Amino acid sequence: MKRKAKRSMGTTIKLTFAIIIIIMSIIFLYSNIVKSRVVQEYDASMKINILLSDLSIEYNNMWELFNTYIKNNSEETYHRYIETNMKINNIINIVTPHIKEDKDSSIYLRNLNSMYAWFKEEMDLVITREELNLETYEQIMNIRTMNYYISQHSSNLMSSYLQHTNSNYLKVLDSYKILESNLYLLLAITILVSIFIIIISTDNILRTVKRLSVSVRQLSDANWDIPDLEVESYNELDYFAETFNHMKNSIKTYIEELNKASEMEMNYQKEKIKNIEKDKIIRETQLKALKMQINPHFLFNNLNTVSRMAMFENADKTVELIDAVAKILRFNLSQKNDFILLKDELEIVKAFILIQRIKFEDTIQFNYTIDEELYDLYIPPMIIQLLVENAIKHGVSGIKKQGWIKINVSRKNAYCVISVEDNGFGISKDEIDRIINRKEMDKSNYSTGLGIYNIILRLQIYFNREDLLTIESEKNVGTKVEILIPIEESERIAKSINS
């Protein structure tokens, strides 16, 4: 008997999937091209926004260099003044064609150019004068006022252009989403049509498989004497018969799966050990990074205070102020240990308070209650100074009543208790919860949270505890921050780290 010609179901399935893949590839490539264009437009807009931000900074640098030059007549300062002017002109030349795309931003830029032209002309006139007099001083004050207006106008320009670019980006993004939806719709239709074709093509396969299942059922009943299977519909179905010959390999396959599971478990344990070592490195890195956050901010603020006092106060106060800042500078430059003595920390705090006394005159009173037996206790550096700085900046600074800050260091059982209390504005319970639990903070209280969060994280890294800092506060009454230092553990850690 002549065998029927057998069809290939592989050809049908391959052709169907080839069509799907081709259409998916076209959709994917086209979508990526459009997406790339959207990204390029967005990047171009962001570069202009960055240049506008640089422009605002250079405007401020222009005023700072002018102000410095009229004080010291430095040739280097004058050259930097000229270079800054060139940078400003270069940025304006770059951004102008883009700014003109938005009407509101164009108005801000035109006004900003007019103000800067007057600003530059007046500064040049002052620089060319051989000596300063009352008229020159008035002219400098006018230039300073104009600098303020330029700064405000520059911020308005950035906001206006950012709004314009965001609006354009949203329009482009909406168009892309519509296009993407249409492409996916086309893909869905293609898949549905392909599924329909596959269903029709596999109908014959299913009927043949049903006949094969009868033989398989007989095998499951341990009937090994059934005749060899013979398939007449498709070439590929002939290979079903080979499945029966491979049943003896099921045990081997099962063992292989067990080996794979065992290998996966070993890899998991190795990865877990690596993660523990990585976590240790991260904790050490965090500690170093937290220490480095403190100094630049602190030194910057106090050097500004020194500058103002040098201009407006008598020499005696200025000498005291400079001595205090010098002490703090020497401490920061020479401090290499992770723990310092409490008495050294208090010396730095007293120097810091001396600066603040001169800055705020008699509007803030400072009171100390220190247990001298704890002077030789080792503590993490600058934790008291950070609390005092927070109490001044966010507590008593600006209140209408007489402000006071109390610094208390005492011993309670196995702990050294350090507290800083003020009668300032206070902190809300929600904000305290955000600070203690390191949640997202309001921008207005960000620096408050940053300082206290710095202390909390350092205490956690050193002592592996999260309950060593507490905050008590009431709005318009005041705030008390208390730190517990485990005395014996602190001494042990200090010897280990400092050595």
Largest pairwise CA distance in the chain: 123
* Final residue in a domain of this structure, among 169, 201, 233: 201
Q: In this structure, is residue 231 part of a structural domain?
A: no
Q: Are 288 and 382 within one domain?
A: yes
Q: Name every residue whose Cβ is closer than 8 Å to that of residue 205 and which is 6 or more positions away in sequence.
A: 9, 233, 234, 237
Q: In this structure, is residue 147 part of a structural domain?
A: yes
Q: In this structure, is residue 173 part of a structural domain?
A: yes
Q: In this structure, is residue 255 part of a structural domain?
A: no
Q: In this structure, is residue 315 part of a structural domain?
A: yes
Q: Are 182 and 312 within one domain?
A: no
* CATH number, position 367: 3.30.565.10
Question: According to the model, what pLDDT value does residue 438 have?
Answer: 64
The one-letter amino acid at 195:
I
Q: Are 176 and 288 within one domain?
A: no
Q: Are 33 and 174 within one domain?
A: yes
**Number of domains observed in the structure of the chain:** 2
Question: According to the model, what pLDDT value does residue 204 have?
Answer: 61
Q: In this structure, is residue 442 part of a structural domain?
A: yes
Q: Are 309 and 172 within one domain?
A: no
Q: Are 317 and 458 within one domain?
A: yes
Please classify residue 485 by burial: count the beta carbons closer than 10 Å to its beta carbon, then call 0-12 exposed, 13-18 middle and 19+ buried: buried
For the chain, how big is the Rg over CA atoms in Å?
38
Please report, for residues 345, 383, 485, the alpha-carbon distance to residue 488 in angstroms, rounded to integers and kept in the order given.
Answer: 19, 19, 9
Classified as helix, coil or strand, 264 is helix
Please classify residue 320 by burial: count the beta carbons closer than 10 Å to its beta carbon, then call 0-12 exposed, 13-18 middle and 19+ buried: middle
pTM: 0.42
**Could you report the per-residue pLDDT of 194-206, keeping only the tens digit for each?**
787 777 767 666 6
Question: How many helices, marked H, and strands, marked E, lie in the chain?
Answer: 12, 7
Q: In this structure, is residue 68 part of a structural domain?
A: yes
Residues facing 481 on adjacent strands:
420, 471
Give the range of the structural domain holding residue 58, as residue numbers without chain letter: 10-201
Residue 6 DSSP symbol = P
Q: Are 171 and 292 within one domain?
A: no
Q: Are 188 and 289 within one domain?
A: no
Per residue of the chain (499 residues), give pLDDT as tens: 445 555 566 676 677 777 778 877 887 777 777 677 767 777 777 888 888 888 888 888 888 888 888 888 888 888 988 898 898 889 888 888 888 888 888 888 888 888 888 988 888 888 887 676 777 788 888 888 888 888 888 888 888 888 888 887 777 777 777 877 877 787 788 788 778 777 776 766 666 666 666 666 766 666 666 666 665 555 655 665 566 555 545 544 654 665 677 777 777 776 665 445 435 433 543 444 444 444 555 554 565 565 555 556 555 677 677 777 777 777 776 666 678 899 999 999 999 998 888 888 778 899 999 999 999 999 998 899 999 999 998 889 888 889 999 999 999 999 999 999 999 999 889 888 888 876 544 444 444 446 788 888 888 888 988 889 999 999 989 999 999 999 999 999 888 876 6
Q: Are 372 and 470 within one domain?
A: yes
Q: In this structure, is residue 433 part of a structural domain?
A: yes
What CA–CA distance (Å, rounded) separates 459 from 471? 15
Question: According to the model, what pLDDT value does residue 70 have?
Answer: 82
* Final residue in a domain of this structure, among 151, 181, 201: 201
DSSP 70-114: HHH--HHHHHHHHHHHHHHHHHHHHHHHHHTTSHHHHHHHHHHHH
Q: Are 291 and 181 within one domain?
A: no
Q: Are 282 and 192 within one domain?
A: no
Determine contact, residues 327/347, Cβ cutoff 8 Å: yes
* Final residue in a domain of this structure, among 201, 223, 254: 201
Q: Are 181 and 290 within one domain?
A: no
**β-strands 364-370, 340-341: how paired?**
unpaired
